[in-house]
């Protein structure tokens, strides 16, 4: 969808495997900063995804619908982030931060992205204090070992993860 005059478009990229309460917090807050927020669900095979890109897109669509945000859309992509952002007409990249380790990585990425397109700003949002320890990788690990992931994801996402673990049939086989 092309940008209209004066419209500020933001992109919040991620693998969302699975989408967590932390992601939802950043989406909710990021949507307040722009006229339109595009959630870019990307493929990152180095993260050993539990869910396919289509499953993750559907999961994010369902979670965003539950937030009731009418200025958020979800788009899958498998390209360089800055190329994706340019194609979407974005002027802002929204990134969530949890800890110092996140900042170091994100700072480096923001610098590289600025070299690729200085016209697109990166905005960092700190996760809510209660949500800072949540990471998709840890959610999957906790679930694989039989732990309760309810505090970290919605009930629907918890159910998706538990069904996937049952279909895998054995620990760590995803």
Find the helix packing angle between 53-67 and 21-30, rounded to 10°: 60
Indicate if 154 belongs to the active site.
Answer: no
Q: Which of 117, 111, 41, 115 is nearest to 82 (CA)?
A: 117
94: phi > 0 → left, psi -120 to 50 → alpha, else beta; which? beta
Which of 8, 62, 98, 164 is catalytic? The answer is: 98
- Distance, CA of 40 to CA of 124 (rounded, Å): 16
Task: Tell the residue number behind the tokens 């673990």, with chain if given.
Answer: 165
Q: Please, are residues 51 and 59 in contact by the beta-carbon 8 Å criterion?
A: yes
Backbone angles phi, psi at 41, to 5 degrees: -90, 110
Which of 36, 136, 140, 158 is catalytic? The answer is: 136
Determine the length of the chain.
174
Task: Tell the residue number behind the tokens 């993750």, with chain if given.
Answer: 56
Indicate if 91 belongs to the active site.
Answer: no
Q: What is the CA radius of gyration of the chain?
A: 16
Which of 21, 23, 95, 140 is catalytic? The answer is: 23
Indicate if 24 belongs to the active site.
Answer: no
Active site residues: 23, 47, 98, 136
């Amino acid at each position: 969808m092309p940008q209209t005059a004066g419209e500020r478009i933001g992109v919040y990229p991620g693998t969302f495997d699975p989408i967590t309460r932390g992601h939802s917090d950043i989406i909710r807050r990021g949507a307040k900063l722009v006229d339109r927020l595009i959630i870019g669900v990307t493929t990152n095979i180095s993260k050993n995804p539990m869910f396919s890109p289509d499953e993750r897109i559907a999961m994010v669509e369902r979670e965003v619908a539950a937030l009731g945000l009418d200025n958020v859309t979800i788009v899958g992509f498998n390209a360089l982030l800055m190329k994706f952002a340019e194609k979407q007409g974005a002027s802002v990249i929204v990134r969530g931060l949890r800890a110092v380790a996140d900042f170091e990585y994100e700072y480096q990425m923001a610098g590289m992205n600025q070299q690729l397109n200085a016209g697109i700003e990166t905005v960092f949002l700190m996760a809510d204090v209660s949500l800072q320890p949540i990471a998709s990788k840890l959610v999957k690990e906790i679930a694989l070992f039989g732990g309760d992931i309810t505090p970290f994801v919605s009930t629907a996402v918890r159910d998706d993860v538990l069904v996937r673990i049952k279909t895998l049939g054995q620990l760590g086989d995803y």
